[in-house]
Amino acid sequence: MNISTSCIHGPEDKNLKNGGLVTPIFTSSAWDYRQESPTPYPRYFNTPNHNQLADKLARLEKAEAGLVLSSGMAAITTILFGLLQKGDHAVFQGDLYGGTTDAVMHELEKFGINYSFAKGHEISDFEKCLKPETRLIYFESPSNPLLNCVDIKGLVKLARSKKLLTVIDNTFASPVNQNPVAMGVDVVMHSATKYLGGHSDLCAGAILTSKGIMERLHTTAIHFGGSPDAQACYLLDRSIKTLFLRVQQQNQNAMALAQYLEGLKMVKKVYYPGLPSHPHHAIASTQMAGYGGMLSFELEGDLEGFLNQLEIISPAISLGGVESTICSPALTSHARISAAERHAAGIRDNLLRLSVGIEDIEDLKKDIEGAIRI
Ligand SMILES: *Cc1c(COP(=O)(O)O)cnc(C)c1O
């Protein structure tokens, strides 16, 4: 099946008894232990809603096994604590999602796990961080907010030559635009709160990997207890039915807006992997089916005035919804790091990050044009 079909026709647990086409919401936390083995229990991630959704997501990411969790961070911490042990060392990309960086810096050392952050996005930047105790490389492509991309196959090659595991946060790309398992990555995670959910109304996470690795991670996940409830599973499954359509439209809109913004006098720089001017355009073109719905740009003049004048695009954190949202990384996601560190990472104070929705492209252009003129 192609991905557009798999989004809709997963391994549904249809309401066979009554003939309904949609998986019912199984709210039971108590199940008859004489019927099914293992007996379903919500925190074991094995209710019918969990199983059906995990199988669907595994198919979308071309992985053997899937696990759906209560948030993206639940997925990330389950992966790190499931795969790393006392005395191990892990290498992380320098510009990860802020919550991931915080978790690495505040949680790993107290369990005797050491880490390094790579200083750039070349394979050699990761290679320089390797030690004899290194077990894992964790990265994000495209990353937030400058949409930096890593050569996935190149990094997998390095990791395999040293017998290291690779983990990617594939949230920004979504399974529609990038399938890292097919490129040899061992573990893929998503904040399903973003594109998979797509309507800014749920919080969930996902892990997609091999059966062998999933056995270890499933046990850790049960210990940490970050399982999603049946309502969230239902809503996520329903949302994924339109994932392909939504992301196609977001890819198109973001490309058109990136080109439009590049032509505006008040816009100094646009960061979008689909533009030939982006430093990682070439590698993005080889590994992504579409360039995604996220872009950033530097705007001259009064940022606050611009944001206040927008009528369609909403200033908001989070991303990946059907509605276009915009935020200033310096004031939101990257507010806690110093201005000097932000500037060193290439994040200027006048940078705006746009999560492009599925609205009409001409309306989005008019919204920006009207707000810039004011
Ligand atoms: C939001 C986000 C996360 C964390 O996900 P939550 O669902 O908020 O826990 C991780 N990675 C990326 C890239 C994100 O955008």
Read off the pLDDT band of 338 (50, 70, 90).
Answer: confident
Torsion (CA) 199, 327, 103, 82 in degrees, nearest 10: 30
Comparing CA positions, the residue from 228, 206, 203 lying closest to residue 217 is: 206
pLDDT tens readout for residues 229-238: 999 999 999 9
Tell me if residue 194 is catalytic: yes
Nearest-angstrom CA–CA distance, 196 and 329 = 22
CA of 262 to the centre of ligand 1 (A): 28
User: What amino acid occupies position 60?
Assistant: L
pLDDT tens readout for residues 35-65: 988 999 999 999 999 999 999 999 999 999 9
Residue 344 confidence (pLDDT): 86
Beta carbons of 57 and 68 less than 8 angstroms apart: yes
CA of 49 to the centre of ligand 1 (A): 22
Nearest-angstrom CA–CA distance, 68 and 46 = 10
Ligand 1 atom at shortest distance from the alpha carbon of 205: 7
Residue 1 confidence (pLDDT): 87
Determine what percent of the chain is predicted with pLDDT higher than 90. 89
Residue 16 confidence (pLDDT): 66
CA of 99 to the centre of ligand 1 (A): 7
Residue 374 confidence (pLDDT): 63
Beta carbons of 62 and 181 less than 8 angstroms apart: yes
Catalytic residue among 194, 246, 271, 353: 194
Beta carbons of 185 and 170 less than 8 angstroms apart: no
Ligand 1 atom at shortest distance from the alpha carbon of 319: 15
3-state secondary structure of 136: strand
Burial class (CB in 10 A: 0-12, 13-18, 19+), 2: exposed
**Closest residue to atom 12 of ligand 1, CA basis:** 97
CA of 76 to the centre of ligand 1 (A): 9
**Closest residue to atom 5 of ligand 1, CA basis:** 72
Residue 225 has pLDDT above 80, yes or no: yes
pLDDT tens readout for residues 138-174: 999 999 999 999 999 999 999 999 999 999 999 999 9
* Mean of per-residue pLDDT scores for the chain: 95
Q: What's the mean pLDDT in 335-343?
A: 85
Ligand 1 atom at shortest distance from the alpha carbon of 143: 13
Q: What's the mean pLDDT in 64-79?
A: 98
Residue 342 confidence (pLDDT): 87
pLDDT tens readout for residues 104-140: 999 999 999 999 999 999 999 999 999 999 999 999 9
Q: What's the mean pLDDT in 11-35?
A: 85
Quick one: DSSP state of residue 125? H
Longest CA pairwise span in the chain (Å):
70
Q: What per-residue string of b and e applies to 113-142 under the rule 16 or more CB within 10 Å gives b?
A: bebbebeebebebbbebbeeebbbbbbbbb
Determine what percent of the chain is predicted with pLDDT higher than 70. 98
Ligand 1 atom at shortest distance from the alpha carbon of 172: 13
Of 344 and 273, more confident: 273
Tell me what percent of the chain is helix, strand and coil, each rounded to the nearest 5: 40, 15, 45
Nearest-angstrom CA–CA distance, 77 and 96 = 14
Comparing CA positions, the residue from 284, 50, 256 lying closest to residue 152 is: 284
Give bridge partners of residue 219 from the DSSP assignment.
none
User: Could you tell me where the beta strands, DSSP code E, fall in the chain?
Assistant: 65-69, 89-92, 114-117, 134-140, 165-169, 187-191, 205-209, 267-271, 294-299, 314-315, 325-327, 351-355
Q: Are strands 134-140 and 165-169 parallel, antiparallel or unpaired?
A: parallel
Residue 345 confidence (pLDDT): 86
Quick one: DSSP state of residue 20? B
Catalytic residue among 13, 88, 151, 169: 169
pLDDT tens readout for residues 176-187: 999 999 999 999
pLDDT tens readout for residues 75-110: 999 999 999 999 999 999 999 999 999 999 999 999
Tell me if residue 169 is catalytic: yes
Residues with CB under 6 A from ligand 1: 71-73, 97, 99-100, 140, 144, 169, 171-172, 191, 193-194, 203, 205
**Closest residue to atom 4 of ligand 1, CA basis:** 72
Beta carbons of 91 and 136 less than 8 angstroms apart: yes
Read off the pLDDT band of 337 (50, 70, 90).
Answer: confident
Residue 17 confidence (pLDDT): 74
Tell me if residue 97 is catalytic: yes
Q: Which two tokens stand for residue 291?
A: 């360039």
Quick one: DSSP state of residue 163? T
Q: What's the mean pLDDT in 206-231?
A: 98
